[in-house]
Amino acid sequence: MPRSLTIPEFIEQIPALRAGDDLLLSGTLFTARDAAHKRLAQLINDKQPLPLPLANAVIYYCGPAPARPGDAVGPCGPTTSTRMDPYTPLLLSQGVRATIGKGKRSAPVTEACRAYQAVYGVVTGGVAALLSRKVRRSEIVAFADLGPEAIWRLDVVDFPVTVALDSQGNSVFDLVTKQ
């Protein structure tokens, strides 16, 4: 049975969460894909102001499709996470506490999750339209020129996430291959 948590509760619970825990998250997620990550990394490296707060942020690897009239957002399925691996340790060092996407993560991301007490969650791919029903409000908050790769703020209710990599470095992908 999934546990329902608001984003602040989720952040507080990170040390106690374990790989395989099923959650229903409610609160604010920020989307970011490859191009947005590259820009954020450049801003951080150049010591420039960031367009959103990274402290205690949850980043969902997603590029939402345009919304139909009356919908908060269009289909918003997860993007393959390994494409963000080169940037993830830097973003975690800036206070990001969780990332959400699909697929296994690299050893440097696993180490960064341990070092910064962060987690990585997975969302089932192929259910983008269903996930969009969990979004109550959306808005572009940065890099609008990137189109679908802009950074969006998504206000979600009961967004289904499975902890795939916990803050101790345990991975559901490793647990499955060991059985």
Query: Which sequence positions are flagged as catalytic?
Result: 37
Least Cα distance to 102 among 83, 75, 117, 129 occurs for 83
